[in-house]
Amino acid sequence: MYWIIKKKFTFLSVYYAYMIEYRAEIFFWILSGSLPIILMGVWIEAATQSELRLSPIEFARYFFCMFQIRQFTNVWVVWDFEREVLEGKLSFKLLHPLDPSWHHVARHVTEKITRLPLVIFFTILFFLLYPQAFWIPDLFNFLLAFVVIVAAFSLNFLIQYTFAMFAFWTERASAIQQFWNLACVFLSGMTAPLDLFPDGVREIVMWTPIPYIAYFPTALLMALPVNIIHGLLIMMGWCIIFFVVNRWLWRRGIKQYSGMGA
């Protein structure tokens, strides 16, 4: 058991050192996900002009939480895997005594750790600029949101890694992910809280995996009314579905992998 833990620690240490080399670039990656901060001003102004389900302060907190949570749930594995397949780099990883997916998991986890100081910096900056939005989340909701953020990252990783499997059959597997991202922009709560959606539409959307990548942990952190048990079961169900589909596509795809570019 000790050697397994030591091997994982070494694996993560290697990728953490690799991510440290790109710490300046990570700063710009964080800024590239600033859409919720931009939309925050729009919704705050809308809430001051008319009566909405959330107050201006709640909109500020909501989009700030959305911005922060997306720092820990964003995934880019489809582009890395697609490049590895097209350039033949996957061939070398197939010689390793572990599934190639663990390389991507380690890269993503260490990148989140590298982001942590910048996340703390932006948190302090936000509350200095909007002191009236400062609040301390309930301890139970905070701990539950932390667990759900980990689950949301896992779900998002499984979804995107499943789309990445299509790189065995097409050179533009990332195009599938880009189409998926378009749906996520509107249905994940990124552009507007799902609380503002019509009840019928919201109920349908909550059966899809999209809201659980960002909206669900945000709602928990803000103590917005959500069905916790139902949400956790939906997340677990979608994780199982995408894991099974992913392993099926992997077994079929690896049989015809030709190592293009190797």
Q: Answer yes or no: is 210 within a domain.
A: yes
Q: Answer yes or no: is 261 within a domain.
A: no
**Cα–Cα distance measured from residue 232 to residue 100, given in angstroms and rounded to the nearest whole number:** 28
What confidence tens digit (pLDDT) does each residue in 101-150 have? Answer: 888 888 888 888 888 888 888 888 888 888 888 888 888 888 998 999 99
pLDDT band at 262 (very low <50, low <70, confident <90, very high): very low
Q: Answer yes or no: is 262 within a domain.
A: no
**pLDDT at res. 116:** 83
The residues, any chain, with a CB within 8 Å of residue 173's CB and separated by 6 or more, are 78, 81, 82, 163, 164, 165, 166, 167
- The number of folded domains in the chain is 1
CB 107 within 8 A of CB 187: no
What confidence tens digit (pLDDT) does each residue in 138-175 have? Answer: 888 889 989 999 999 999 999 999 999 999 988 888 89
CA distances 246 to 157, 182, 221, 240, 243, Å, are: 11, 22, 31, 10, 5
pLDDT band at 261 (very low <50, low <70, confident <90, very high): very low
CB 247 within 8 A of CB 165: no
Domain that holds residue 146: 2-256
| Residue 156, Cβ density class (10 Å: 0-12 exposed, 13-18 middle, ≥19 buried) | buried
**Cα–Cα distance measured from residue 171 to residue 24, given in angstroms and rounded to the nearest whole number:** 30
**Cα–Cα distance measured from residue 89 to residue 92, given in angstroms and rounded to the nearest whole number:** 6
Q: Counting every residue, how long is the chain?
A: 262
Is 0.95 topped by the overall pTM? no
**Cα–Cα distance measured from residue 78 to residue 160, given in angstroms and rounded to the nearest whole number:** 6
What confidence tens digit (pLDDT) does each residue in 168-193 have? Answer: 988 888 899 988 988 888 888 888 88
CB 166 within 8 A of CB 176: yes
